[in-house]
Amino acid sequence: MIVLGLSGALGHDASAALIADGEIIAAAEEERFIRDKHAKGKMPIEAAQYCLTAAGINPADVDVVAFPYASIPLSSPARWHYAKRYWYAPDRALDAIFNGNRRYRRNRDRVLTMGKELGIDWERTKFRAVEHHIAHASSAYHLSGFKERTAILGVDGKGEYTTTFFGYGENGQIHRIKEFYDPDSLAGVYGAITEYLGFEMLDGEYKVMGMAPYGDPNRYDLSRILPETADGFKADTRLVNTVGLRRYKENGTGFYFSPKLIEWLGPRRVGDSAEEPWIHYAAAIQKLFEERCLMLLEKYLGETLRQTGLLAFAGGGALNVKLNQCIVALPHVKELFVQPASGDSGTALGAASFVAAEAGQCPPRMRHAYLGPAYGDEQILEAVKSLGRRVTAKRDDDIVTITADLLAAGHPVAWFQGRMEFGPRALGNRSILGCPSASNIADRINEQIKFRERWRPFCPSVLDRVAPSIIGTDHPAPFMTITFDVVPEWKPRIPEVVHEDGTARVQIVEKDTNPRYYALLEALEVRTGNAVVLNTSLNRRGEPMVCSPTDALNMFMGCDLEYLVLGDWLVTKGSE
């Protein structure tokens, strides 16, 4: 059975994924192809075309198109909860009751139209709508490889109406335990404070997380925005998660919080600095988010976790790596699997995996995220030649050794290899690399290449055989989705990848999933004594991660990078 998953219903992070006979063949975000971060308002036509081409599949042969957005019946408590909580915006409240599936119908029609453009035969191909949070749940549970009863956690801004999901998986089936509905959203509240702190919601949450260690979480108590209730929590919509006339507006732009929040906390942060009081607000919202998530985890999933210790986690909130560190530290958690594409881009894969699992064709554990396009010598040379004498390219069969020498000498290197990663993390195929013991390498990359805030941390890629000695645990971490405390004796050895709070968001590299990257780490170990490399995504601020050699060269020419490795080619800048 061939299943094509498509996402984009919520107006951002459109993507496509293809599963054939229980195997994930390809997955990619639309933003990478159209060079528009988050692909807002777009459908994933370029990503879908890539997936079909990569699989060698005629669009007319697709059996099911799975879409992570479904109709919600009036009998569901979700629509009634939404109407009750948004009483102050009666147009929205009444719409939820009387026309609550309007967005679903519009999105279904967009998928049907897009399918015709692709060449999908709707006489033969079935359209299958999967609830948004079930798609998130499937992307984690069905791809975790866990065979025993598994706790499932979903923390997201919102789908159709659901914001937070607690359930369990057993024998391939997903069971609901508890759901929370809009506007009661843990991730939504975090996103509202993200906007208040001067970042873009659905993009800047990780910046808040990076800022938090510089502040004191106890300086300000933000718990009134997310008070506890008998069944869990409730967002205070007088302050956050607001709509309509309650929203704070600035220069014609409405925000997800109210003027009352400004009256309470003071003006919004602007600029790139990490200063008081905003660093303390960042620390406080991070602490509150962790506390509420952990409380709910115990309340609804504690019993399941004490049975097997297995937890599968997805949704935008699953990209909060500090929360994930707290979860791993729980005594009754044996293993946490976080879907590497936990945000809404991953729902294309989740919807497809849900349909495949229903048919008895559940894919095996997702051990890597290298599911995007790859490019060969011919395409690399064509891109290089288009720049004429502005660049020089030299091919070398021992490019790993050359790159290791450059890194050990203290140079940042752009590293473009193999298939592009699916999800927001660069995992060694579309990366900017640096030697983590080279003094000030992080500042150089921030200021001269990435053009981003100076306080943002960088992450290490680490060989599997040395990882336990660095992070003090053998917990799996292939996707940079969990932070760990760095063992004291390692901190001075790799200072450029240890954050302010002594943690690092580690990627553990295994030889069979990325042999060339593994070989590079081994070569760097020979030169520096550390099988660790600083790894950040190959892009500039505000841009998507690069996809093609042309994208990589454009990025290379627009910053102060001196070395770009494209496959077996070392590219440097020419005289023109």
Sign for the pseudo-dihedral over CA of 283, 286, 292, 294 = negative
| pLDDT tens sequence across 70-91 | 999 999 999 999 999 999 999 9
Take residue 207 and report the two structure tokens written for it: 């910046």
pLDDT of 454 reads 74
Residue 371: per-residue pLDDT: 98
Please give the sequence-ordered ranges of beta strands (E in DSSP) within 208-254, or none if there are none: 249-250, 253-254
Res. 343: pLDDT tops 60 = yes
pLDDT digits (tens, 9 = 90+) for 446-466: 888 888 777 788 999 999 999
Per the structure block, which two tokens stand in for 533?
A: 């490399």
Residues 402 and 439 in one domain: yes
pLDDT value of position 504: 98
Give the side-chain half-sphere CA count within 13 A for 126: 11
The predicted-structure confidence for 145-156, as pLDDT tens digits, reads as follows 999 999 999 999
Q: Print burial letters for 493-510: b (CB count within 10 Å at least 16), e (below 16).
A: bbbbbbbeeebbbbbbbb
Residue 81 domain-assigned (yes or no): no
Amino acid 201: pLDDT: 94
- Which of 108, 71, 545, 96 shows the shortest CA–CA distance to 345? 545
85 within some domain: no
Residue 157 lies in a domain: no
Mean predicted confidence (pLDDT) in 188-195? 98
Total number of domains constituting the chain: 3
Q: Span 161-184, mean pLDDT?
A: 98
Do residue 279 and residue 405 come from a single domain? no
Contact yes or no for 212/322 (Cβ under 8 A) = yes
Cis peptide before 183 (omega within 30 of 0): yes
Instruction: Say if residue 486 is in the same domain as residue 440.
Output: yes
**For residue 554, what are its two tokens?**
């454009």
Specify the pLDDT at position 452: 79
CATH number at residue 507: 3.90.870.20
Q: What is the pLDDT of residues 521-534, one digit of tens each?
A: 999 999 999 999 99
Q: At what angle do helices 278-308 and 321-328 cross, to 10 degrees?
A: 40
**Which runs of consecutive H residues, i.e. helices, occur in 22-85?**
30-34, 45-55, 77-85
Q: What is the percent of the chain where pLDDT is above 90?
A: 96
pLDDT at 274: 82
Would you call 12 a catalytic residue per the annotation?
yes
Q: What average pLDDT does the segment 209-231 reach?
A: 97
Q: Do both 343 and 404 map to the same domain?
A: no
564 burial via Cβ count (<10 Å: 0-12, 13-18, 19+): buried
CB atoms within 10 A of CB 288: 22
Cα(183)–Cα(178) distance, integer angstroms: 16
In a domain, 169, yes or no: no
Spatial CA neighbour of 341 closest among 46, 55, 16, 23: 16
Residues 432 and 480 in one domain: yes
| DSSP structure class, residue 361 | -
- pLDDT tens for each residue of 20-45: 999 999 999 999 999 999 999 999 99
The phi and psi torsions of 134 (rounded to 5 degrees) equal -70, -35
Whether 84 is covered by a domain: the verdict is no
Which of the four pLDDT bands, split at 50, 70 and 90, describes residue 576? low
Domain that residue 195 falls in: 186-336
Please check whether residues 305 and 350 belong to one and the same domain.
Answer: no
What per-residue confidence (pLDDT) applies to 449? 86
Please, which pLDDT band fits residue 575 given cuts at 50, 70 and 90?
A: low
Q: What is the mean pLDDT of the chain?
A: 97
CATH code (residue 139): 3.30.420.40
My answer on whether 308 and 347 are in the same domain is: no
- From 12, 81, 132, 136, the catalytic residue: 12
pLDDT per position as a tens digit, 386-395:
999 999 999 9
The answer to whether position 527 is within a domain reads yes
> What would the pLDDT profile of 480-526 be if each residue is shown by its tens digit?
999 999 999 999 999 999 999 999 999 999 999 999 999 999 999 99
At residue 445, the 3 state secondary structure works out as: helix
Instruction: Tell whether 149 is covered by a domain.
Output: no
Region 330-353 average pLDDT: 98
Q: Give the lowest-confidence range in 174-178, 189-193, 271-275, 396-400.
A: 271-275
Task: Tokens for 150, please give them.
Answer: 């598994």
Residues 331 and 223 in one domain: yes
Averaged pLDDT for residues 418-442: 97
- The answer to whether residues 269 and 302 belong to one domain is yes
Give the model's pLDDT for residue 457.
87
Tell me, yes or no, whether 318 and 399 share the same domain.
no
Among 410, 416, 451, 422, which residue's Cα sits nearest to residue 534?
Answer: 410
Whether residue 563 is contained in a domain is answered as yes
**Final residue belonging to a domain, choices 336, 366, 397:** 336
Q: Kindly report, residue by residue over 287-318, the tens digit of the pLDDT.
A: 999 999 999 999 999 999 999 999 999 999 99
Work out the average pLDDT over 426-444: 96
Per-residue model confidence (pLDDT) at position 531: 98
Is there a single domain that holds both residue 411 and residue 559?
Answer: yes
Sorted by sequence, the CB contacts under 8 Å of residue 113 that are 6+ apart come out as none
Residue 541 corresponds to which tokens in the numbers above? Answer: 């601020």
Asked which of 305, 336, 367 is the last residue of a domain, the reply is: 336
Q: Are residues 515 and 422 in the same domain?
A: yes
Residue 269: partners with Cβ closer than 8 Å, 6 or more residues away = 196, 197, 198, 278
Predicted confidence (pLDDT) per residue in 100-126, tens digit = 999 999 999 999 999 999 999 999 999
